[in-house]
Amino acid sequence: MEDWQIWARKPEQLITLAQRAEGQLPEMESTKQLVKLVSEVYSPKMSVLDVGCNAGHYLIGLERIDTNLDYTGTDAYESYIAKAKEIFSSKINAKFEVSDLTKQWDIKNKYDIVFCCNVLIHLPDFRIPIKNLLDSTKKVCIIRTLLDSATTIVKYAYTEEFDKDGNPTNYCYFNTWKLEFIVNYIKKLGWNVEVIEDEYNPEILEKEYTEVKLDKGTRILDGKQVDSNIIFNWTWLKITK
């Protein structure tokens, strides 16, 4: 396991999203916009792939579109997939698989709609992951990540131990990619890109920060989402042929 894969070592991350999947906690604000974007392109019997699914929490929202949604969730971590299978064991239309987005995929199945939310920010590079996503897509790929006018590579340290090069030995990435860079990469792969502004209710996010996350994680400052000293400029990409 790489030093940056902090998410595999943070049980509270799985617990929180598992509670959302079980309906014990409200759905995330990003779920609401994802449901809206998927509903605009969805037709009955379409197949949907959720990449970086964690405990499958997005499935709850997507079932408002179609209770019989043909859904597959993938995640790099076996503990997440095991929990998702446990929570959704009665769902015959939902399946979960272990798959590492950072490794080149051997594509066996393609899906009408592929989405990947809040994942690319935590990976060291986006190029192989995005190619995997698009190679798996028949019609529409939806991505939510941090995009802005410049690229910033951020290592969010969870330790005070550093190696000889000054790198923390336990951290996660909070990367923001230059919008033009990532859009041009997608276009070179032969796809069209629509950039969509993130929508959220700041009052709900601030309430979650204090009551659910107990003053940890993302909060609202002057109308923007922030975590410590990092501004989160969430952006959606709707990618089509």
- List, in sequence order, every residue forming a beta bridge with 171; answer none if it has no partner: 157
Exposure letters 141-174 (e unless 16+ CB within 10 A, then b):
bbbbbbbeeeeeeebbeeeeeeeeeeebeebbbb
Cα distance between residue 77 and residue 103, in whole Å: 13
Q: Comparing C-alpha atoms, which of 155, 235, 205 is closest to residue 27?
A: 205
Work out the mean pLDDT of the chain and round it to a whole number.
93
The mean pLDDT value for 201-226 works out to 84
HSE-up of residue 107 (Cα within 13 Å, Cβ side): 14
Domains in the chain: boundaries: 6-205+235-240
Query: What confidence score (pLDDT) does residue 11 get?
Result: 61
* Beta carbons of 172 and 120 less than 8 angstroms apart: no
Cα distance between residue 29 and residue 27, in whole Å: 7
The mean pLDDT value for 42-66 works out to 97
Q: Where are the beta strands (DSSP E) in the chain?
A: 47-51, 70-75, 94-98, 111-117, 137-148, 155-157, 171-173, 177-178, 192-197, 219-221, 224-227, 230-232, 234-240
Cα distance between residue 4 and residue 119, in whole Å: 13
Supply the pTM of this predicted model.
Answer: 0.95
* Beta carbons of 48 and 113 less than 8 angstroms apart: yes
Query: What confidence score (pLDDT) does residue 209 get?
Result: 82
Return the CATH fold of 6-205+235-240: Rossmann fold (3.40.50)
Q: What are the structure tokens assigned to 132, written together?
A: 């995997």
Phi, psi of 97 (to 5 degrees): -140, 150
- List, in sequence order, every residue forming a beta bridge with 142; answer none if it has no partner: 115, 238
* Beta carbons of 226 and 215 less than 8 angstroms apart: no
Query: What confidence score (pLDDT) does residue 207 get?
Result: 85
Q: Is pLDDT of 201 > 80?
A: yes
Query: What confidence score (pLDDT) does residue 17 get?
Result: 86
Q: What is the pLDDT of residues 69-95, one digit of tens each?
A: 999 999 999 999 999 999 999 999 999
Cα distance between residue 143 and residue 195, in whole Å: 10
